Structure 1
Amino acid sequence: MATWLGKTAALAATAGLTGLAAPVWADTLPAFNLYGLPGLIDMPTAEPAPDGTLALTYGYVGGANRGSLSFQLAPRLSGTFRYTGIQDFDHPASVDGIYYDRSFDIRFQIFTETDWRPSVVIGLQDFIGTGIYSGEYLVATKTLAPGLAVTAGLGWGRLGSYGAMTSVGTRSDTILGTGGQPTADRWFRGDVAPFGGISWSPDKRLTVKLEYSSDDYEEERRSSDFDHGMPVNLGLDYRFDNGTQLSLYYAYGSTVGAQLTLPINPKTLGVPGGTESAGLPVKPRAPGSAADLGWTSDLPGTSDSVEAQLARALERENLELQGFRLEPTRATLRVRNDTYGAPAQAIGRTARVMTRLLPASVEEFVIIPSDRGMALSAVTMRRSDLERLEQDAAVDMLARTSFSDAQRIAPPVDLQSHPRFTWSLGPSLSYSTFDPDDPLRVDIGASLRGKLEITPNIVLRGALTKRVFGNLDEIDRESESALPRVRTDYGVFAREGDPSLRTLTLSFYGRPAPQVYSRLTLGYLESMYAGASAEVLWKPVSSRLALGAELNYVERRDFDQQFGLQGNETTDPVSGITRSFPKVNGHVSAYYDFGGGYNGQLDVGRYLAGDTGATLTFSREFVNGWKIGAFATLTDVSADDFGEGSFDKGIMLTIPLAIGTGTPSREGTDVTIRSVQRDGGARLSVPDRLYELVREGHEPDVAASWGRFWR
């Protein structure tokens, strides 16, 4: 547990915690309790974190190591994922005397604080899990003076286990063996107990806390030697300039505890960039020059000369000219952006280059972002608006810019620079989380990657990986699933696949019709499966809605991850039962951009093991490239057949690589934290699915980053 949290904390620190000056939002941060929630010591408060706050906590008290990841999803709504290792806990699932538990929380602020009214929050703790930390609460917090706040609340479940004053119905206290199931039959039922406390901050660094706890630690007292001497806890927090919180506790009259909290706020980190060279300024035309069409008598020659100059100028901006069409009053330019994470920054730099090189009569600029050879949109603006508004806010330029489909008007791609080969040698990281035998397993090695662009929309790529050190090959845990082992043989692949041909694919991208995009990928699609994957996406340029469909035909690869295939049959190493699974799987998908960075996705179809169902994904994305989300998959597989965890679910985090470097980049590190990896709800991993590629060039995403247009 400590290893897992330590490496996670190191990731957060690398992403931007270390060396930062005091951020403004840190002054409004609440203290975080031992459950990773805004709170006192064990008890919650009604203080929300600033919108967008992401907090990693690692705490210890009474033999329990608690690590959590909390996210303030909206100003009033937050969620928490927690992983706990309880020492000397008497339970059949304990490993070497330690019981590992996963749990999820959600809380909502009903009332904000005013001069006369306290903040009021309602919360569900461990509402999807084994139930060992299950509890609900209604809590109010009021600031009495600067730095002085009082809290009072009512708790149910675990938070109602000490000093109960009444009871509401009956409540089961059974610990669920597989976990992962909503425990709605327990919510706000059983004994109800009061809790409360007070916190005082003499300055912005120190906070002293005193609480009355309604947690009896019944399971810990029954299973171990935990001594619940009294219900009063005392705590001291120290906050560093960057918001990091170090806490010390004396709890229940018998034990000491400590916690480290690492908060960041992607919303306030800004868009990566600043060390890149400044973009060219707009070059205004001379008065009256816009009417001069004399140059059009040699339109082909002028067009070729201007295209060559544009290509050189855009190359200096780290952009690639892929196609060009020049008319007397309009220029259409197709550009590829592999540099700027904010698409509007690439469009703005392209437009300013055009003002400097195009004949004066060209008034209308049509800029077409292109990715994988697909024309994504036509961004149209007037040159006179660029000249007039350069010193004004970017939003004024956005109001005069239009977006439309580019399929019929995009100039053809210039293939002079193709085929094109690129390669890289860099580190590789593979990981497995929350196996009770070892909560975090990691393989670190080297990866040789190569990409051959035959044309921009026909791409051959591959990756060879060699492990240097790690322990994924030690995974040898029995599967509780009654399904084919489509994912739980991961340890065997890790043992026998070193070195491994991780991927080798040939992909075709296209625009078969207006508002429609396509992808066909053939080859060794991922470390465990080879075959073919076909996808089509309908996405109007200005629409927040997109619809897609994907169909896959796959066979399982040999464990050594070379070129062989072993067919779609798996054998359980314990029971010896052989199970087959279908070669065909796929989904129909709906995507919706709710605005404000909130995105939803629903995938319905057949998964690798042959089970059918749906995956719901909800995420929040920030203009600077940070992305945080959660997903859940429910299929026709029962919780018993699925095994530990009951159904597939997890948290996704994308960290832009440009954070902390000041250099713009479209690259990012994706981290998926699953509560547990099983065989049910398992989906094929295919690189470069269409939606994320296409949406970056469409109006909602471009408009969201428009503040970078003049950068």
Structure 2
Amino acid sequence: MICLKRNSLLSLVASLSLFTVSFEAFSGQFEPSQSDFGGVGLMQMPTGRSAKDGSFSFGLTFNQDYEHYHASIQLFDRLETTLRYTLLPNRRYSSSVSFGGDNKYTDKGIDVKFKLLDESYWLPETSIGFRDLGGTGLFDGEYIAATKRFGSVDITAGIAWGYMGNSANLSGDEHLSDNECGRVSSYGGKGGQLDVERGFTGCVSAFGGLEYKPSGLPIRLKLEYDANDYKGDFAPLEKAPQSNINLGVIYELSDWGNIRANFERGNTWTLGFTLNTNFNDVHQVWFNDPHPIYAPSDSVKSWKQTQEELTRFSGYRNVSLYDDEGDISVAGTPSKYRNIDVGRERLAATLLNRDETPSSITITERVKGMPVTSINVNGDKLKQVVNQEQVGLRFGDAYKEMSSFTKPTDSSLVGKSYERFTYGLSPALSQSIGSAEDFYLFSLGIAGNAAYMLTNTTEISGSVHLNVFNNYDKFNHTIAPGDSTQLKRVRTLVRQYLSNKPLRMNNLQLTQFGKLGDDVFVQAYAGYLESMFAGVGGEVLFRPLNSNWALGVDANYVKQRDPSSQFGLFSSPTIFDERDKRTYKTQLGTLTGHVSVYYRPEWAWFEDIELKVSAGKYLAEDKGVTVDASRQFESGVKVGAFATKTNLSAEEFGEGSFNKGFYISVPLDVLTTYPSTNRTVVSWVPLTRDGGQMLNRSYHLYGMTGSRYKRSEYIY
């Protein structure tokens, strides 16, 4: 089961919106197209091609035997990754009717492709790839493919192992090991692991094909020699294959998508569509307040008027203004522009227009009352920048960063605005894809949140969720038959938390923020910390200014909340589920926390990468390590993956063997017509299990202090 969580309903349309906001007229360029399985390819077979860096596609292909839902992204120029869900109409999800019912068998797969050679005058573009890594390996195989373009024709030749090469036209006895030429078909543990011993074994076959794009026409034609004979397929095919030649046509609707029809195996029609975008090119036109033009006022403006203009043009809120004989200081919270220098330049330009050029302007960014970064702008240089007195002079040339913070004297305070109470309402959607009871489960509701700053650094905050409609009552079991019941049920009671009450309190906590010196940030919190746990905890983060690394520690003592009560906690170490007819363990109290290292490599060949490694104790009292890696593209869209391995065995953990998932973080200002620092996150977790689960804390100091690293987008 894949779980997707979103902060608001905007996340529901985020993916589809990305396919349209960045494109203008249809270009008709010869860009690589997707295969039936997702990822650049012909139909059943891959090619040596890779898409442009940042390309993202989502698609569906289906025939009478298979339904493939796939998403593919070119993470780097030389690395393509694909996530796929496959439904088998002719097989049931489980042999247990009470567990899977009549639902179709569902398989998850991950593919990766590495580009080895770029195309040149003499050499083809060449790649090596791995299909269906880990999991049950229904379609697992490896290949090396080379593709060369001749005018409007792309010609591909390659060698495949495993599922793609099951015809064994080069080597292998296909009668061995269920028609797989002796290749190991079983998988380790409970699935979800990399079974490297299977790699480049079994049947070996040659494959090839071509793709032709007629000039000026929105179609592509494909011809393919399929190296699979389908004798070892897990799905019972309705028709035995009659040919290895596949034919296909793609009709391009525009740059954002296409539809396709293939005639495969000599007797099977396969239909589908693909939506495309590029995360480096996604952009939006904003209806925004114009940038202040340098035009000093003839009359002296009041500080109140200046303060209002600062908030309007720069997006800084909770502003404090100080004037010390021409040296102006401003402290506030950026809330409008993801690029922090955009807000800074607008703020400085507004002050420059007040009456006369200030000697200097000190701008300090505060988050929850904590000074995070500070710059000192030279008034004369700023005037040169706005007047463009030198070619290429930029705002960054007019200021220097300050490593320490000096609070101005209270006597120099000339203006202050502070909103202690904030609140908001938004649609909320929780989803699960690929569960046994239904391929798509969801909970639609309204989320309300509010916060009140008791002091500049002390906050009381809370959130509630009003359930409008959900189908989580379709859950027949919360644990699959045969899975372990020895772990404490820290996450797999999701059915009870989502469906028991129409109105539920997700969070209610008191938080204290602070600093210990210039580079150490701290927070302490207590209350109902998330929808499933209550307790106390704290976090300390050491993050030097302009350093590409940081070190953090969080420690918490938590107890599990009782889903049948708004404020209650479990009081018994076990519960008996009347629906499942099984006894489960609960978490009556545990210490949980992690030591985390954050690192931003400054490698030319791997740009905008962020790595996070956390080691510690998890909610089910297992101990281990979580590795999180992500890349941020030029539009601000961030794509990442994580994996957690603890001291639980695969049998103790259950199906999937260890916790893992993927996520896409989308800036809302690429979907709307107004700049914003807010984001929405779409996350995929293949299976919800109790092992390797962290506490879902409301605040993370690393994200709140993003402006301390020059190349880090300011996202708070």
TM-score (norm 1): 0.89
Shift in Å, 1:43: 0.7
- Counterpart for residue 322 of structure 2: 325
2:396 to 395, 398, 417: 398
CA distance in 1 between partners of 2:14 and 2:715 (Å): 25
Shift in Å, 1:650: 0.8
Partner amino acid for 1:114?
A: S
In the alignment, structure 1 residue 606 sits paired with structure 2 residue 617: yes
1:376 to 362, 372, 383: 372
Identity among equivalent pairs (%): 28
In the alignment, structure 1 residue 344 sits paired with structure 2 residue 356: no
Q: Which runs of 5+ in 2 are unaligned?
A: 174-180
Cα RMSD between the aligned structures? 3.1
Contact 2:643–2:660 (CA under 8 A) maintained in structure 1: yes
Distance 1:225 1:602, change over 3 A: same
Shift in Å, 1:338: 1.6
CA displacement, residues 256-277 of structure 1 (integer Å, 9 cap, x when unaligned) = 111211111121113x552111
Contact 1:433–1:674 (CA under 8 A) maintained in structure 2: no
Contact 2:322–2:414 (CA under 8 A) maintained in structure 1: no
In the alignment, structure 1 residue 213 sits paired with structure 2 residue 229: no
CA distance in 1 between partners of 2:287 and 2:494 (Å): 42
- Counterpart for residue 289 of structure 2: 277
CA displacement, residues 55-94 of structure 1 (integer Å, 9 cap, x when unaligned) = 1111113421111111111111111111111121378568
CA distance in 2 between partners of 1:506 and 1:431 (Å): 29
2:132 to 123, 126, 130: 126
Partner SS, residue 362 of structure 2: strand
Partner SS, residue 388 of structure 1: helix
Shift in Å, 1:114: 0.9
CA distance in 1 between partners of 2:520 and 2:205 (Å): 58
Contact 1:510–1:518 (CA under 8 A) maintained in structure 2: yes
Contact 1:448–1:464 (CA under 8 A) maintained in structure 2: yes
In the alignment, structure 1 residue 163 sits paired with structure 2 residue 160: no
2:707 to 679, 685, 696: 696
- Counterpart for residue 84 of structure 1: 86
- Counterpart for residue 653 of structure 1: 664
1:685 to 672, 696, 706: 696
2:36 to 20, 34, 37: 34
Shift in Å, 1:220: 3.2
Aligned residue pairs, count: 683
Partner amino acid for 1:669?
A: T
- Counterpart for residue 294 of structure 1: none
Shift in Å, 1:425: 2.6
RCO (CA 8 Å, sep 6+): is it higher in 1 or 2? 2
1:569 to 567, 573, 576: 573
Partner amino acid for 2:160?
A: G
For residues 37-436 of structure 1, the aligned pairs below 5 Å read: 37-89=39-91, 95=100, 96=102, 98-145=104-151, 147-167=152-172, 171-174=183-186, 178-203=190-215, 205-220=218-233, 223-270=236-283, 272=284, 274-283=286-295, 307-317=303-313, 318-320=315-317, 322-328=319-325, 330-357=327-354, 359-360=356-357, 362-390=358-386, 391=388, 396-409=394-407, 417=417, 420-436=420-436
Partner SS, residue 485 of structure 1: coil
More deviation, 257-266/426-435 = 426-435
Partner amino acid for 1:562?
A: Q
Partner SS, residue 18 of structure 2: helix
Distance 1:689 1:207, change over 3 A: same
Distance 1:523 1:115, change over 3 A: same
CA distance in 1 between partners of 2:29 and 2:588 (Å): 55
Contact 1:111–1:120 (CA under 8 A) maintained in structure 2: yes
Distance 1:572 1:533, change over 3 A: same
More deviation, 189-198/694-703 = 694-703
Shift in Å, 1:24: 8.3
Contact 2:437–2:476 (CA under 8 A) maintained in structure 1: no
Partner SS, residue 43 of structure 1: coil
Shift in Å, 1:177: 7.6
Shift in Å, 1:12: 5.0
- Counterpart for residue 444 of structure 1: 444
CA distance in 2 between partners of 1:107 and 1:561 (Å): 49
CA distance in 2 between partners of 1:395 and 1:164 (Å): 65
CA distance in 2 between partners of 1:373 and 1:516 (Å): 14
CA distance in 2 between partners of 1:153 and 1:568 (Å): 60
Contact 1:529–1:555 (CA under 8 A) maintained in structure 2: yes
Shift in Å, 1:627: 1.4
- Counterpart for residue 709 of structure 1: none
- Counterpart for residue 520 of structure 1: 524
Partner amino acid for 1:386?
A: L
CA displacement, residues 5-51 of structure 1 (integer Å, 9 cap, x when unaligned) = xx999735642334764478883531100111100001111111111
More deviation, 613-622/399-408 = 399-408
Contact 2:2–2:687 (CA under 8 A) maintained in structure 1: no
CA displacement, residues 547-600 of structure 1 (integer Å, 9 cap, x when unaligned) = 100011111111135111114834464442546565210001011122532111
- Counterpart for residue 178 of structure 2: none
Contact 1:421–1:452 (CA under 8 A) maintained in structure 2: yes
CA distance in 2 between partners of 1:78 and 1:669 (Å): 24
More deviation, 69-78/449-458 = 449-458
CA distance in 1 between partners of 2:311 and 2:11 (Å): 39
Shift in Å, 1:185: 0.6
Partner SS, residue 110 of structure 2: strand
CA distance in 1 between partners of 2:11 and 2:155 (Å): 31
Contact 1:653–1:672 (CA under 8 A) maintained in structure 2: yes
Higher helix share: 1
CA distance in 1 between partners of 2:393 and 2:253 (Å): 37
Distance 1:175 1:18, change over 3 A: same
- Counterpart for residue 295 of structure 1: none
Distance 1:50 1:371, change over 3 A: same
Partner SS, residue 585 of structure 1: strand
CA distance in 1 between partners of 2:103 and 2:111 (Å): 26
Contact 1:37–1:80 (CA under 8 A) maintained in structure 2: yes
More deviation, 367-376/36-45 = 367-376
For residues 464-613 of structure 1, the aligned pairs below 5 Å read: 464-479=464-479, 480-481=483-484, 482-560=486-564, 562-567=566-571, 569-571=573-575, 573=577, 574-576=581-583, 578=585, 580=587, 582-595=589-602, 596-613=607-624
Distance 1:470 1:51, change over 3 A: same
More deviation, 400-409/110-119 = 400-409
Distance 1:222 1:680, change over 3 A: closer
Contact 2:613–2:628 (CA under 8 A) maintained in structure 1: yes
Shift in Å, 1:375: 0.9
Contact 1:555–1:567 (CA under 8 A) maintained in structure 2: no
CA distance in 2 between partners of 1:702 and 1:2 (Å): 29
Contact 2:3–2:683 (CA under 8 A) maintained in structure 1: no
Contact 2:153–2:211 (CA under 8 A) maintained in structure 1: yes
Partner SS, residue 137 of structure 2: coil
Partner SS, residue 248 of structure 2: strand
In the alignment, structure 1 residue 453 sits paired with structure 2 residue 462: no
Contact 1:407–1:513 (CA under 8 A) maintained in structure 2: no
CA distance in 1 between partners of 2:11 and 2:442 (Å): 15
CA distance in 1 between partners of 2:94 and 2:543 (Å): 51
CA distance in 2 between partners of 1:221 and 1:524 (Å): 47
Partner amino acid for 1:166?
A: S
